[in-house]
Chains A and B, each alone.
Chain A
């Protein structure tokens, strides 16, 4: 009996270890209707700070993804290099100064994808395995790869 308990415990710990070590990739995506070159790291930070970046004569429209907490943290730490408080403060302060709307955000994938298609040169970020589920979305570039723990 004890032998079986030990086997079960080993199997369970193995399962947790596999999940903890799972690698995920964050990608920048746009709609299939768009055709433009990937953004540089600087352009990516620039566009998500509300500063203009153009492709094919039109401004790129960034959209924020709030569907996944880990994705949001990776975005803040590896794209924006700011805390959530500072980032939100900067975006809102810009609206109070300039009168321009804040960068839109969605916590549902479908709303995110819909908004991206409706925006001119719309871009957003997803986990790669989520992006591959949408045939009308193309991956522009890989932004980050790492362990999900």
Chain B
């Protein structure tokens, strides 16, 4: 959700006033708040396959630097969670959600939040320092980075948990706005007066941790999304998504496996067709030592190259192999180097990414 410069200054000022007021109030009362910064510098090198490569460079580079900023505050049964991404070029509101503890293990959230699907989306959010790899799996990529599923939604969400023996069941139910398909990308609602164009996104997610004190977990989710379209002769897409995932902790090795099936009914001006594809990834990490970590990931689809819905989006990266190494040179900072290659009907060229990431304080 990109905020115009005039609006983000006002929003930032408002948030500064709120946090100052909260801090003053916190002196006397049990308000707990924290602000986290996740700065990053990301350099990507890839072959220049444009027509100009004959006259110029063999490679093209892309440098990104910025910081994810997370503010969390809680007072008695109320919570506030906000997340922004700030760089020289942009200031994006990623999340702004107000929560209420209905019971000790049941929270109601209102606002803009991450759709609770898959393991990766719910575990790492925009704090790239938390994830081991430089890139997210393509199937969970954010909308403005070429993502194909609803990552951000504005509406209402319930998060709850129920103990079961030594383990726990965690569940989430969310109803919110769906993105629009426009200019070959998904566009989420950005607070403007086009709210009525954004139809419904609904999702339910259930996760079981056999041991609440271990990271190992098994999850499943199902969602229904109505996507309006403002592109070519595309009118609407009705989408059902189901998936399952697991995180397995075999210290020093850990593994994430996810499989997602997306069924789309694509309504064009002259016809309606159905199509579906299956996307999965398997991500493995091995801790060589306290500081060094190696990882690898394989991402594949079945039916992805022929899917009608994906044809309307700008060449999403859903199939690749990647591997990397990460060095945490302090408790708060890390450097990663990653090599990735798209497979199956894509350019097949190797991309090299280097990233410095951190979390402060």
Contacts and interface: CB of A to CB of B under 8 A. Distances in A.
Contacts of A99: 72-74, 79-81, 97, 99
Contacts of A102: 34
Interface of B: 32-34, 36, 70, 72-74, 79-81, 83, 97, 99, 104, 107, 122-125, 127, 130, 212-213, 215, 251-252, 287, 290, 293, 328, 331, 359
Contacts of B125: 96-97
Contact of B213 (A49, A86, A88, A96): A49
A93 B72 contact: no
A81 B216 CA distance: 14
Contacts of A83: 251-252, 287, 290
B32 A46 contact: no
Contacts of B122: 97
B287 A90 contact: no
Interface in A35-71: 42, 45-46, 49, 51-52
Interface string A96-110: 111111100000000
Nearest to A100: B74
A100 B130 contact: no
A82 B213 CA distance: 11
Contact of B79 (A42, A84, A98): A98
Given A88-B331, A99-B73, A93 B213 contact: no
B331 A100 contact: no
A3 to B, nearest CB: 45
A85 interface: yes
Nearest to A97: B122
12 contacts: A52-B104, A82-B251, A84-B331, A92-B359, A96-B124, A96-B125, A96-B130, A97-B125, A98-B79, A98-B107, A99-B74, A102-B34
Given A49-B213, A88-B331, A95 B72 contact: yes
A95 B130 contact: no
Q: Chain A contact residues (Cβ within 8 angstroms of B): what range?
A: 20 to 34
B123 A93 contact: yes
Contacts of A85: 287, 290, 293, 328
A89 interface: yes
Contacts of B124: 93, 96
Contacts of B130: 89, 92-93, 96
B153 to A, nearest CB: 16
A42 B167 CA distance: 13
Given A42-B213, A51-B212, A85-B287, A95 B73 contact: no
B144 to A, nearest CB: 19
Nearest to A85: B328
A34 to B, nearest CB: 17
Contact of B290 (A51, A84, A100): A84
B74 A101 contact: yes
Contacts of B251: 81-83
A89 B124 CA distance: 9
Contacts of A90: 215
A92 B123 CA distance: 10
B234 to A, nearest CB: 35
A118 B70 CA distance: 26
Interface string A113-147: 00000000000000000000000000000000000
A96 B70 contact: yes
Nearest to B254: A86
B169 to A, nearest CB: 15
Contacts of A81: 251
Nearest to A96: B125
Contact of B34 (A45, A84, A95): A95
Contacts of A84: 290, 328, 331
B287 A92 contact: no
